[in-house]
Amino acid sequence: MAEARRSWREVRDAIRADILSGRLSPGDRLPRDEDLARRLNCARSTVQRAMQDLSQAGLVERRRRGGTRVRPDPVTRATFDIPITRHEVEARGARYGHQLIRAAELPAPPAVVAAFDLHSPERTLYVEALHLADGRPYILEERWIATRTVPEIRAVDLTRISANEWLVLNRPYSRCDLRFYAIQADPRVARLMGAAPGAALLVIERTTWIGSEPITTVRAITAPGYQLQTRT
């Protein structure tokens, strides 16, 4: 019996997995569509449809007569500049520090199920960490990472590199949902952030995706006096 031919989504997911795993690096040239079609057991038009979706997601770039390459720059920089907190602190002339408070794989709570648009709770990696500037609290990060999309995060030593930095460097995204709001510091947050209980603190909340797959959702609680800077 002949092997069933792959759909364009299966082809897209196979190529995307090679990019996200690092088997295909930024700037690498992909084989010709017809060669991929033979390798993946599908029609050339199926490869073309998959490439169209990957191009729209910002993972590859296609040029007439120039073939297809993995984008040389992460989508993170092309669509929205999520800062690496270490770089942000050092750019202010301060010494950066990072403390991992907790990391545990847990079922996604209802708010994360909704943020990730899941049909039911999945096990996700919860990471709570404190970023420091000159030894003082700078950002308290409460993060959930979709381990189905980013399974490699389980092997990352988050005491040595923050989840923020690892994800920015290793997980380009095609979509970012962003919210800003203020909270009143409860006693625990006040203690961790060196703020008075009830102090108003700016919160930056982000959820990132690659195609239709969630990557991470994070609530970044900033220290009193934090200033957000943007460039256009």
For residues 133 and 201, state if they share a domain: yes
Q: Is the pLDDT of residue 77 over 80?
A: no
For residues 196 and 82, state if they share a domain: yes
Q: Is the pLDDT of residue 147 over 50?
A: yes
Domain final residue, candidates 47, 72, 97:
72
Q: Residue range 160-178: average pLDDT?
A: 89
**Separation CA 160–CA 61 (nearest Å):** 33
Instruction: Check residue 73 and give its pLDDT.
Output: 64
For residues 103 and 207, state if they share a domain: yes
Instruction: Check residue 232 and give its pLDDT.
Output: 41
Domain tally for the chain? 2
Which of 98, 99, 156 shows the shortest CA–CA distance to 125?
A: 156
Q: Let me know: does 34 contact 48? Beta carbons within 8 Å.
A: no
- Burial (Cβ within 10 Å: 0-12, 13-18, ≥19) of residue 102: exposed
For 12, the domain range is 8-72
Helix and strand tally (H, E) in the chain?
8, 8
pLDDT band per the 50, 70, 90 thresholds, residue 75: low
Q: In terms of pLDDT, which residue wins out, 61 or 1?
A: 61
Q: Let me know: does 84 contact 94? Beta carbons within 8 Å.
A: no
At 175-192, the pLDDT tens digits run 888 999 999 999 999 999
At 82-133, the pLDDT tens digits run 788 999 999 999 999 999 999 999 999 999 999 998 888 899 999 999 999 9
Q: Two tokens at 124?
A: 């996700």
For residues 82 and 197, state if they share a domain: yes
Average pLDDT of the chain is 88
What residues does 55 pair with on adjacent strands? none
Question: Does some domain include residue 228?
Answer: no
Question: Does some domain include residue 227?
Answer: no
For residues 93 and 184, state if they share a domain: yes
Instruction: Check residue 74 and give its pLDDT.
Output: 52
Domain final residue, candidates 72, 91, 119:
72
- Those residues whose C-beta lies under 8 Å from the C-beta of residue 222, and which sit 6 or more positions away, are 138, 139, 201, 202, 203, 204
